[in-house]
């Protein structure tokens, strides 16, 4: 085993400008995640904000990704150093931090992923990320493989896009279309022209700032449009959404049969 952390292939891909296609994992189920791990996606998001997923379930899903094509991205429930610390100790190297609205909040997210003196991540010698102590250089080299993505989910966050993008250690930005639509006064309507105009403007500004921008786009036409705009990484949907769509489509094929 190498003495340090494994290379962060997702971070490397973003830095090289390679588009990354992903999927959301909201079930908290390691079997579902294991199936998706071998489906050809570049990254899978393990969600702990809007999913009933706790740290032991994150560990199970990280194990389920072993041997697959997808890199793990984990979303903590909040921009909280304790939550981030626990996720990183499981072996996660990329976090998507929700509801970041300023450069100060972005800097706080980065600090939670760095050991002192570069940040305030708590230090433990034996955990899954360090190979339970086998990666003896883990603490010295972990910071270099950390990837921090922050979600811009409000008008205030979009107004601060350039300042957030300029924070050292921020590897990518991410638009949260549902919360953004609510912030702009269009709750439940991310397709509203005002919301879509704000998303297009954010993409153009992120490109000028040379910072990869991501988004969740479960509608295929939206995803293709965002790719044409220049989004660097996109989640095409979620495990729950795929299950429901397939189940409804199959049942409708037998309309009129049964009770």
Residues classed as catalytic: 50
- HSE at residue 108, side-chain half, CA atoms within 13 A, is 15
Tell me the C-alpha distance between 28 and 173, whole Å. Answer: 24
The residue behind tokens 């921009």 is 79
**Tokens at 151, concatenated:** 């979600």
| Planar angle of CA 172, 20, 97, nearest 5 degrees | 35
For residue 123, what is the DSSP state? P
How far is it between the farthest Cα atoms of the chain?
66
Helix axis angle for 239-252 and 30-37, nearest 10°, is 90
Tokens of 238: 């979620």
Cα(28)–Cα(98) distance, integer angstroms: 18
Within a 10 A sphere around the Cβ of 126, how many other Cβ atoms?
11
Q: Is 132 exposed, middle or buried (0-12, 13-18, 19+ CB in 10 A)?
A: exposed
59, 88 in Cβ contact below 8 A? no
Q: Is the peptide bond before 143 cis (omega within 30 degrees of 0)?
A: no
Cα 130 from chain centroid (whole Å): 22
């Amino acid at each position: 085993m190498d003495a340090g952390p494994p290379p962060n292939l997702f971070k490397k891909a973003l830095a090289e400008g390679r588009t990354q296609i992903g999927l959301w994992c909201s079930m908290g189920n390691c079997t579902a995640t294991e199936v998706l791990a071998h489906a050809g996606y570049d990254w899978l998001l393990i969600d702990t904000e809007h999913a009933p997923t706790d740290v032991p379930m994150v560990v199970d899903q990280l194990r389920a990704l072993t041997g697959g094509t997808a890199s793990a991205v984990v979303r903590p429930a909040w921009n909280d150093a304790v939550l981030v610390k626990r996720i990183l100790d499981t072996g996660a190297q990329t976090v998507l931090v929700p509801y970041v609205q300023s450069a100060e909040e972005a800097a706080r997210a980065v600090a939670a992923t760095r050991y002192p003196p570069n940040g305030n991540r708590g230090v433990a010698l034996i955990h899954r990320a360090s190979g339970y102590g086998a990666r003896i250089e883990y603490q010295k080299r972990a910071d270099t493989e950390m990837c921090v993505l922050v979600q811009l989910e409000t008008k205030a966050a979009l107004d601060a896009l350039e300042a957030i993008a300029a924070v050292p250690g921020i590897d990518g930005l991410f638009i949260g279309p549902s919360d953004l639509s609510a912030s702009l006064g269009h709750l439940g309507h991310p397709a509203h022209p005002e919301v879509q105009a704000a998303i297009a403007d954010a993409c153009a500004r992120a490109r000028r700032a040379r910072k990869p921008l991501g988004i969740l786009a479960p509608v295929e036409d939206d995803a293709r449009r965002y790719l044409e705009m220049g989004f660097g990484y996109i989640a095409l949907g979620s495990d729950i959404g795929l299950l429901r769509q397939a189940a409804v489509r199959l049942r409708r094929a037998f309309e009129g049969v049964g009770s």
